[in-house]
Amino acid sequence: MKVLVLAALLAVAYAKHEEYIGWKSYYIGVTTDEQVKALAPLVDAYELDFIGHPTLNREGLVLVKPQYQAAFIQDADAAGISYRIHVDDVKRALDYDDQLIDAQKRSSLARNGGRQLPYDNYQELDVIDDYLDYIGEKYPDVATVVSPAKSFDGHPIKYVKISTTNFEDETKPVIIIDGGIHAREWISPPSVTWAIHKLVEDVTENDLLERFDWILLPVVNPDGYKFSHTTNRFWRKTRSTNSTVASQLCPGVDGNRNFDFVWNTIGTSSNPCSDIYAGPYAFSEIETRVVRDILYENLARTALYLTMHSFGSMILYPWGHDGSLSSNALGLHTVGVAMVNAIEAEALPYFPRYVVGNSALVIKYYIAGSSEDYAHYIGVPLSYTYELPGVSSTGNGFHLDPQYIEQVCRETWEGIVVGARRAGDLFPKPQD
């Protein structure tokens, strides 16, 4: 019997990630605007999947299917676009990631007395949801768990409201942080749950509770997040379908293209099979409507909105659809630089240094319908995308190594602390 069980487990392990047999990933670099323009048509032609976009003088990371690899290399050479192999066997790299995650899980369970924490490993959705419920039950005086809706597949979309005054003090600015809108960006939810931990369980910055009310949503896209754990590691979108054949064949919408600001005009797709499919209409997804409603319900008091993504070590601000600067660009940049400085004071020396700037100008890639742009468009004065560190330091996998998750959470928290304080200083004071 033991032999049969072992054989079954090995068969499951072997079968995992089979859809990525033959895929390769490449570091890719661009140094001129002409190379950026030359790269754009290759994305659709060869179904390139960017895990991290290249910026001028900073490499990105792209997945390439077996049938397109030779043509991709030929066209990259012709355009003078630099590339080098990241991993030559994507399935093997994902298997390697799984081994690291399993080892981290065993270590964490031993260290935490059998308890799984949502910020020291890449945890399943249930672990994150259970943690939010635990926070609400143990700290009812400051933390309230809200589940305003269920996802397409029926998972509760949960967030935590943290306040010493039950959100009844209208003079307190609100800070909103979300994560997990892109399912595969697994470092994103831990950064949000760590912020919850620091605001409720391990409070070292008392002024952040006294001055602000907080809303923290670790997993905007629970369906996609769960699917990325169980079925397809690089799943990015939601999991919704509609009555059309295309939707049935290719479920899901890119949540960060689904917000109602210059929706589906640039950097998006109308093809349901695309990873950047903007959806049949703006706010077609219950997940993005939840974020929209949180923003609107607290709009008069919201001083800062942060959405956590990976990877790239960047802090980006509007406008991402055309590269123009907001009327509040000076404030956005000044606070962004302050957050970066705080992060880098805690960062490991061999991690990439952070870049701060306008989304489109930094990554040389325009997108419409993002939550960052939408929040700023409706009136949030300071709105940012955090692109967290996210690739394996060993070069063998696609995750930030699990041993560094808590480090990234700690340094990201330092950026949040400074961002909140600067946002509070800049936010208009109520009139007597």
Q: Round to whole Å and give the CA distance between 315 and 303.
A: 17
Residues with a catalytic annotation lie at 387
> Nearest 5°: phi and psi at 147?
-130, 85
Q: Which of 291, 152, 143 is nearest to 217 (CA)?
A: 291
Task: Locate 230 and state its tokens.
Answer: 């169980």
- Of 239, 123, 132, nearest to 187 by C-alpha is 123
Give CA–CA dist 372/318, Å, rounded: 7
Q: Rounded to whole angstroms, how far apart are CA atoms 44 and 41?
A: 6
**Widest CA span of the chain, in angstroms?**
76
The number of C-alpha atoms within 13 Å of 163 and in the hemisphere containing its C-beta is 19
**Pairing mode, if any, of strands 82-87 and 24-29?**
antiparallel
**H-helix or E-strand containing 97?**
helix 90-111
Rounded Cα gap, residues 187 and 15, in angstroms: 25
Q: Which tokens hold the place of 325?
A: 């600067």
